[in-house]
């Protein structure tokens, strides 16, 4: 596949489609052997930003997955769902009564920060090598351990009991369904997600999102370059001769001011080489090279 077919597409995933199904639909826009993958699952109930990696972009999915995300969710109070969303079996909470907006907002704010969150039973988390949702669908008891996630902010946009709309800014691995479930537990009335839309992933937002009815030329023009995945990393530049050495797996002495850790590496001609790591011995080591060195 040509280099121009490497990068990222911002897809507006439609309701009712799996993330894998969306990737398969996007394949029509690229050569037959093109590698494609998504960078963070959206449930069929959810719509919105699904970042599709194309070609060499599939080597950088980890960097997109760990970017901050923004969601808008419609939550219904007064009932519970076995899937924590509207697609499951809904059971009304006996004795549930309307709550004041201030009480709902106060409860929401208790989830801001680093919190321990138990993923939904119907999720892709693995239990002894099997997906939790596969076990749950067979009627098995699914016990998942809490995981630390980060919620940066929650805004209560609208509230009219039993429905509320929220915007959530959060880090990797946060389940909005689990947030709704836990909100219902905290309020003592039960809750589940009715609607969910992801509006942003790092620098990828709705303004450049494609729909699946786009044609091939539109999709190819909308392909964003590989550097978008590395915007959270410090950028360093090295000479072309050093780039050749790094791409061959050699570590380089490093005298720059950057602290130890990962960096996006460019050559002197502004070509992205890949990801390097500055170690404690002040060496720039190859971590994930995207560029192939010239062969003698």
CA atoms of 118 and 109, how far apart (whole Å): 18
Residue corresponding to tokens 């398969």 = 24
CA atoms of 160 and 4, how far apart (whole Å): 49
Cβ count near 176 (within 10 Å): 25
CA atoms of 234 and 231, how far apart (whole Å): 8
Q: How far is CA 90 from the centre of its chain?
A: 27
DSSP 173-200: T--HHHHHHHHHHHHTS-EEEEEEEEEE
Q: Is 213 part of the annotated catalytic residue set?
A: no
Q: How far is CA 273 from the centre of its chain?
A: 24
Q: Which residue in the list 5, 43, 85, 182 is annotated as catalytic?
A: 43
Structure tokens belonging to residue 28: 């029509």
Q: Are 263 and 214 in contact (CB under 8 A)?
A: no
Closest listed residue to residue 20, CA positions, set 5, 3, 35, 41: 41
DSSP 77-111: ESEEETTSBTTS-EEEPTT-----HHHHHHHHHTT
- Residues with a catalytic annotation lie at 43
């Amino acid at each position: 596949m040509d280099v121009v077919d490497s990068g990222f597409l911002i897809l507006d995933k439609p309701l009712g489609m799996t993330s894998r199904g969306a990737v398969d639909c996007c394949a029509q826009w690229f050569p037959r052997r093109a590698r494609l993958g998504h960078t963070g699952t959206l449930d069929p109930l959810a719509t919105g930003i699904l970042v599709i990696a194309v070609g060499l972009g599939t080597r950088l999915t980890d960097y997109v997955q760990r970017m901050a995300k923004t969601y808008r969710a419609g939550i219904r109070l007064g009932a519970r769902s076995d899937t924590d969303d509207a697609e499951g079996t809904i059971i009304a909470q006996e004795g549930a009564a309307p709550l004041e907006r201030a009480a709902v907002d106060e409860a929401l704010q208790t989830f801001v920060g680093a919190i321990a969150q138990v993923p939904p039973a119907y999720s892709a988390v693995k239990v002894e090598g099997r997906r939790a949702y596969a076990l749950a669908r067979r009627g098995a008891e699914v016990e998942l351990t809490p995981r630390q996630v980060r919620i940066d902010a929650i805004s209560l946009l609208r509230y009219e009991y039993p429905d509320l709309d929220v915007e959530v800014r959060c880090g990797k691995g946060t389940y909005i369904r689990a947030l709704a479930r836990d909100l219902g537990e905290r309020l003592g009335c039960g809750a589940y997600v009715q609607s969910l839309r992801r509006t942003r992933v790092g620098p990828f937002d709705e303004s450049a999102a494609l729909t699946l009815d786009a044609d091939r030329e539109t999709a190819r023009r909308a392909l964003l370059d590989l550097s978008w995945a590395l915007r959270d990393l410090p950028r360093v530049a090295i000479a072309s001769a050093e780039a050749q050495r790094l791409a061959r797996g050699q570590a380089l002495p490093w005298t720059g001011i950057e602290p130890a850790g990962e960096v996006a590496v460019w050559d002197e001609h502004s070509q992205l080489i890949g990801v390097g790591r500055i170690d404690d011995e002040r060496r720039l080591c190859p971590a994930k090279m995207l560029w192939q060195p010239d062969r003698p």
